[in-house]
Chain A
Amino acid sequence: MRASFFLCVSAYLCGLPSFAIAAPLQFGFGKPATTQEIAGWDIDVRPDGTGLPKGRGSVAQGQALYDEKCASCHGTFGESNSYLQIAGGVGSLATDQPVRTTGSKLNFATTLWDYINRAMPFNAPQTLSPDEVYALTAYVLNLNDIVPADAVLDADSLPKLRMPNRNGFTTDHGFMRRDGKPDTRNVLCMKDCVQVVRLSSEMPDYARDQHGNLAEQARVVGTTGTIAAGKATAGSRSGLELAKAVACTACHGVTERLVGPGFREVATRYAGDASAESRLIAKMRAGGAGAWGAVPMPAQPQVKESEARALVQWILAGAK
């Protein structure tokens, strides 16, 4: 390989830190990254606040933004666990029922700022201004009772906040180094190693069919066959498969609300309503609004009448 030397004649002209001047490059591929280029991409924020930009935002401003951009997924009070639950559960991690939320787990508020800034909203990341990110951070922290309702956050105040789980992390384990110490020391016994082999868990019947027809999930050539799905009827599986195929599941979960209600929520609401089937078939194909909140259900003309009927029957039967 040919060694070449790229020397920056002037750190000022190149926009580089001054200590870059004398360092030789063995290959010299690529180009120098200018201060301006780095600034555009270097968005990370460390726990000590390094990387936080100028700007400020209040809880009140954050609430308005949150209701507009965040509540549809995270719930009005950050309570939704359809996505990561962001509020509640503080102090629960040591209990038998830990509630894992942003508020209960996070150790530094700076990480919340960094994540909102780089990755939220889910469908339009890196579109928020620094002021908006400060405001949303303030509101999420307020939902967790970490800052008061009149709080205003900026680059100075954010790193000073003390999160409830500030001391809840440890690096006292063997996973950070290749020669780290393992937790366990199993022994290499070869004969009569255990006296009684006790089965502690096996697949419950209800779980066996949750992953569809196992017979269709293995290579067809081999010395083993596959177990056909057990108790679920063909109709139930095709219901969910059909829902996926015509993209219902982009907005509806089986049990949980995503953009629209969960299928089982629908089943519950219309239980015993004899006319529901025909109305829902029509609504599925023509669209509708108002029954489940502000987000309208768009028309789905690509769904055939027969498919809509099968889907509605499956949903009303409990989407099982």
Chain B
Amino acid sequence: MVTDDGKPGRIRPAPENHLAASPDPVRRGFLRRAVALGGGALAARTAGSVRADDALDKNLPPHVPEWSRTLGAPTLASPYGVPAKYEANVKRRESPGLTRTPQSSVAFTPLQSLFGIITPSGLHFERHHAGMPDVDPHQHRLMVHGLVANPRIYTMDDIVRFPSVSRVHFIECGANTGMEWGNVAVPTVQYSHGMLSCSEWTGVLLSTLLDEVGIDRAKAKYLLAEGADGASLTRTIPLAMALDDVLVCYGQNGEMLRPEQGYPLRLLVPGVQGVSSVKWLRRIEVGDQPWNTREEALHYIDLMPGGKHRQYTWIHEAKSVITAPSGGQVLLDHGYHEITGLAWSGRGKVSRVDVSTDGGRNWRTARLSEPVLTKALTRFRIDWTWNGGPALLQSRVIDETGYVQPTIRQLRAVRGIRSIYHNNAIQTWRVDATGEVSNVQVL
């Protein structure tokens, strides 16, 4: 095992041993604080461990656990399975005060609690502009028209008949991390980076549909994609992307799309800010110029120093974030800790991720976990021994174009602090001497 100081890290299995013997001043300090904060405010983990020390020790060796001495629940106890009841903490959340109405709001993915690269469908972040419509798939239609030879209307059955593909891609809202341009503002990675999810999407390539209807290749330059929600949300898609890898999707992680993700049909524009992946897709119009829609002229535009807005900022540049340890967590013990996180690029594959534990002074290259896919989340991992001193954890991605994730200082030098969108700066988490991890910025 490679560690910062070359010494082997102590691996302490979690969670059974955490309180059995507690000589560690860090852990005792943490517990003291948690208890001092009073009654029901105990950390969930701490509470569980306390119970393990007394009331529940009848389930610990040498005793035989009660669940080993009884008959379990039958099959089909839950025909559509749900997570274990102990996992109730792992859910989407809104950021208080961020939006004014729950119909036009955001629910963030709990990245701090997830493994691997696939976001469970029920935890995929939500962003609706006029609420989530209840679309009957039998009455849903996709109209393709404009500069085409054969304007067509498709039922869902029609769409599913076309040759299909399944691809893993991330979706990230253009405003992800948008609250952190000037200073840190939110406590955990769920709120700082949680408008980010990754699924296996199944559908028909948009190029297949465009070939079918016969676009006017001399004139066609852009498409308009329109949703069937109350916002009738519209976005301009450049033809070059449409003919490349844009999907018209009905499948997500093996099942039909979730309603929050556009059931029964959505666009998926890989590597591009999420708003372009129009949900509840009902219409594609082929045209010769951008549409300058409301979501392209009042929102999803990037205010630059000097007062101009960048328009049509589609692509997500490469970005990464450490998800554990991350803000709001506490290192319960000295010794070995795996640092892990996610990296992605709207321009292709992740080539490499480096990790620093000293605020960017020194870097080591992390391991990338297979699969490493284009415009998909990539999981990275690296070993670390925490010896109890303060640390500043950072990750830095390099994508296949050679682009290196920038510092917040570099981004601000070009874009100032008011552009809201496309903040792909290197994230810093501070580990203090007690093991608490918090959100900080370094300049």
Point out residues on A near B: beta carbons under 8 Å. Answer: 1, 6, 16-17, 19-20, 23, 25-27, 29-33, 37-38, 41-44, 46-47, 82-84, 93-95, 98, 100, 102, 105-108, 110-112, 114-115, 118-119, 122, 125-126, 165, 168-171, 173-180, 182-194, 197-203, 207-208, 210-230, 234, 240, 249-250, 253-256, 258
Contacts and interface: CB of A to CB of B under 8 A. Distances in A.
B43 A226 contact: yes
B149 A182 contact: no
> Closest 9 A-B residue pairs measured CB to CB?
A94-B307, A23-B149, A197-B359, A175-B313, A219-B113, A214-B328, A184-B406, A115-B294, A186-B404
Contacts of B244: 178
A229 B41 contact: yes
Contacts of B102: 249-250
17 contacts: A25-B150, A119-B294, A125-B230, A168-B307, A171-B310, A176-B312, A178-B315, A190-B363, A201-B183, A201-B441, A202-B430, A210-B187, A214-B188, A215-B34, A219-B89, A222-B14, A223-B14
Given A25-B212, A30-B155, A200 B301 contact: no
B230 A186 contact: no
A176 B324 CA distance: 33
Contacts of B161: 27, 29
B362 interface: yes
Contacts of A107: 292, 297
B264 interface: no
A84 B298 contact: yes
A201 B315 contact: no
Nearest to B39: A234
Contact of A218 (B112, B271, B313): B112
A192 B361 CA distance: 5
B14 A184 contact: no
A210 B39 CA distance: 20
A118 B231 contact: yes
A93 B419 CA distance: 11
Given A20-B149, A46-B289, A197-B359, 19 more contacts: A20-B150, A25-B150, A25-B212, A26-B212, A29-B158, A38-B151, A98-B307, A115-B294, A125-B231, A186-B406, A186-B410, A211-B95, A218-B113, A224-B331, A225-B43, A226-B43, A228-B41, A249-B102, A253-B100
B358 A32 contact: no
Contacts of B410: 184, 186
A102 B297 CA distance: 9
B311 A203 contact: no
Contacts of B329: 218, 224-227
B411 A183 contact: yes
B135 interface: no
A81 to B, nearest CB: 9
A226 B240 CA distance: 46
A39 to B, nearest CB: 10
A193 B363 contact: yes
Contact of A223 (B211, B314, B337, B407): B337
Contact of B315 (A112, A174, A213): A174
A256 B100 contact: yes
B315 A175 contact: yes
B285 A44 contact: yes
B326 to A, nearest CB: 9
Interface string B335-375: 00110000000111000001000111111100000000000
Contacts of B312: 171, 175-176
Contacts of B86: 220
B399 to A, nearest CB: 10
A250 B100 CA distance: 10
Nearest to A229: B41
Nearest to B183: A201
Contacts of A102: 298
B243 interface: no
B107 interface: no
A224 B292 contact: no
A188 B152 contact: no
Given A192-B361, A228-B37, A169 B42 contact: no
A171 B294 contact: no
B257 interface: no
A223 B37 contact: no
B140 interface: no
Interface stretch (B58-66, B69-77, B246-254, B432-440): B432-440
B27 to A, nearest CB: 9
B317 interface: yes
B440 A20 contact: no
Contacts of B33: 228
